[in-house]
């Protein structure tokens, strides 16, 4: 029993979310706490996307009734970007999970055939290119700020396209 308590005390100070120390009497309880700790990286990545990529802390709204909806919307964007990034890393050859029109708009902006952005990885790199990513072989993967900037540009392009469709049909 003492051996498992030692594991929990070692993990507790490292926890960024302040996990309380739980009494541990079995190996299963100790493994549960280790599993909680292992999940912290997903939370860390969400905060990085939300704070760095979406620049949530740099918004200059001063009233809570305006700030809270913005932060909520940015949280949704951060989760979506995290999902896109993870899909590009885990299953980079899978078809991009976005509407076909989004791929066509991205392709038109980057002056490339739509087939160039059909996979998760290619789509994410295309979005990042809109944010300034050069996509050279030595560049590695795009960071949050570049992905966010590209996503923002892509969303404006999509909104412009949809507005043009509305005007054309009226």
Taken in order of first residue, the domains within the chain and their CATH numbers are 2-38 (no CATH), 55-169 (1.10.740.10)
Closest CA to 126 of 108, 140, 139: 108
Please compute the mean of the pLDDT values over residues 83-106 and round it to a whole number: 87
The pLDDT of residue 21 is: 61
124 or 3: which leads in pLDDT = 124
Residues 110-139 have pLDDT tens digits of 999 999 999 989 999 999 999 999 989 898
Phi–psi pair at 69, nearest 5 degrees:
-65, -35
* C-alpha to C-alpha distance for 19 and 32, rounded to whole angstroms: 12
User: How much is the pLDDT for 10?
Assistant: 45
End-to-end CA distance of the chain: 73
Binned at pLDDT 50, 70 and 90, residue 66 comes out as confident
Higher confidence at residue 97 or residue 1?
97
pLDDT at position 22: 66
């Amino acid at each position: 029993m003492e051996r498992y308590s030692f594991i929990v005390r070692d993990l507790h100070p490292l926890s960024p979310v302040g996990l309380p120390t739980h009494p541990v009497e079995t190996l299963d309880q100790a493994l549960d706490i280790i599993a909680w700790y292992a999940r912290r990286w997903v939370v860390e990545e969400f905060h990085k996307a939300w704070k760095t990529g979406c620049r949530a802390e740099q918004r200059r709204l001063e009233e809570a009734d305006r700030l809270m909806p913005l932060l909520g919307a940015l949280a949704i964007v951060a989760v979506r970007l995290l999902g896109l990034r993870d899909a590009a890393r885990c299953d980079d050859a899978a078809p991009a999970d976005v509407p076909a029109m989004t791929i066509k708009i991205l392709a038109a902006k980057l002056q490339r055939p739509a087939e160039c952005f059909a996979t998760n990885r290619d789509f994410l790199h295309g979005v990042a290119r809109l944010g300034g990513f050069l996509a050279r072989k030595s560049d590695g993967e795009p960071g949050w700020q570049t992905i966010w900037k590209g996503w923002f540009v892509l969303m404006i392009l999509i909104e412009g396209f949809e507005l043009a469709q509305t005007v054309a049909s009226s």
